[in-house]
């Protein structure tokens, strides 16, 4: 959510030594090329948001993983919903 991203932005502004990798993910519905593009678009949206809020692009990177790194089974709608996500990894 935007409020969580705003909190992250403030934290990153206070800790300029930190870098961020944004990872986008999808469920397994749809083709692999579509899921790859969708996951990249999800990650880039967060990347763009952080950059627009003043985080230097040199501190940011993003990558899409399609459906390859699911965290739960895609059998149920609830599982698929959990797998449609963006993860933010903060690194030194």
- Summarised one tens digit per residue, pLDDT across range 80-92 is 999 999 999 999 9
Whose tokens are 């903060």? That residue is 90
Domains of the chain are 2-91 (3.30.1330.60)
Contact 47, 22 (CB under 8 A): yes
- The torsion angles phi and psi of 31, rounded to 5 degrees, stand at -75, 160
* pTM for this entry: 0.92
- pLDDT category of residue 1 using cuts at 50, 70 and 90: confident
Whose tokens are 């993860």? That residue is 87
User: What confidence tens digit (pLDDT) does each residue in 20-69 have?
Assistant: 999 999 999 999 999 999 999 999 999 999 999 999 999 999 999 999 99
């Amino acid at each position: 959510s935007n409020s969580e991203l705003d909190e992250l932005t403030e934290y990153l502004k206070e800790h300029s030594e930190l870098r961020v990798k944004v990872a986008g993910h999808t469920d397994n519905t749809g083709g692999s090329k579509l899921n790859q593009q969708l996951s990249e678009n999800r990650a880039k949206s967060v990347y763009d948001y952080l950059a627009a809020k003043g985080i230097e692009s040199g501190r940011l990177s993003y990558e899409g993983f399609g459906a390859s790194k699911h965290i739960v089974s895609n059998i149920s709608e609830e599982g698929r919903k959990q797998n449609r996500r963006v993860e933010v990894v903060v690194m030194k």
